[in-house]
Amino acid sequence: MRNCLIIALILFSFSGVFSQENNTGPSVENEDTLVFERFMETMEESLRLYREEWTVDEDYDSITRALGYEEDHVPVFSDSVICQRLIDLDKTSPYPFDCDPSVLKNIQFFNEKRRSFIKVTLGRSRLYFDMFEATLDKYNLPLELKYLAVIESGLRPQVRSRAGAMGLWQFMYATGKMYGLTQNSYVDERMDPVKATDAACRYLKRLYEMYEDWNMALAAYNAGPGNVNKAIRRSGGKMTYWEIRPFLPKETQGYVPNFITVAYMMTNHTLHNLIPAPAPALAHEIDTVCLKQGIRMRTLETVLDWPSDNIHLLNPIYKHDVIPDTDPKQCISIPLEKVGLFIELEDSLYRTDSLFFHKPLPGQEGTEERTITTSYHKVRSGETLGAIARKYGTTVNDLMNWNNLKSTHLKIGQTLRVEKDSSSGSSNVSGNTSSGPAKYHTIRSGENFWSIAQKYGTTVDAIQRLNPGVRSSNLKIGQRIRIQ
Rg of the chain over CA atoms, in angstroms? 25
Single out the residue of 240, 248, 251, 247 nearest to residue 216, CA to CA. 240
H/E element holding 441? strand 440-442
> Strands, DSSP E only, in 249-330?
286-290, 295-296, 322-323
Q: How many residues does the chain have?
A: 484
Distance CA(422)–CA(435), nearest Å, equals: 19
Residues 180, 202: contact at Cβ < 8 Å?
A: no
Distance CA(360)–CA(322), nearest Å, equals: 10
Distance CA(179)–CA(183), nearest Å, equals: 11
Query: Active site residue: 21, 152, 251, 301, which one?
Result: 152
Q: What is the dihedral of CA 27, 30, 35, 36, to 10 degrees?
A: 90
The one-letter code for the residue type at 175 is: T
405 φ/ψ angles, rounded to the nearest 5 degrees: -85, 135
Identify the burial level of 81 via C-beta atoms within 10 angstroms of its C-beta, where 0-12 means exposed, 13-18 middle and 19 or more buried: exposed
In the annotation, is 152 catalytic?
yes
Distance CA(205)–CA(2), nearest Å, equals: 21
> Strands, DSSP E only, in 274-321?
286-290, 295-296
Per 3-state DSSP, what percentage of the chain is helix, strand, and coil (rounded to 5)? Answer: 50, 10, 40
Single out the residue of 141, 168, 152, 125 nearest to residue 34, CA to CA. 152
Distance CA(365)–CA(130), nearest Å, equals: 41
Distance CA(463)–CA(427), nearest Å, equals: 11
> Strands, DSSP E only, in 136-186?
none
Q: Residues with Cβ < 8 Å from 112, sequence gap 6 or more?
A: 74
Residues 320, 395: contact at Cβ < 8 Å?
A: yes
Angle of CA points 127, 39, 49, to nearest 5°: 50
Single out the residue of 437, 444, 433, 446 nearest to residue 480, CA to CA. 444
Q: What is the dihedral of CA 288, 290, 294, 300, to 10 degrees?
A: -40
Residues 370, 422: contact at Cβ < 8 Å?
A: yes
Residues acting as catalytic residues: 152
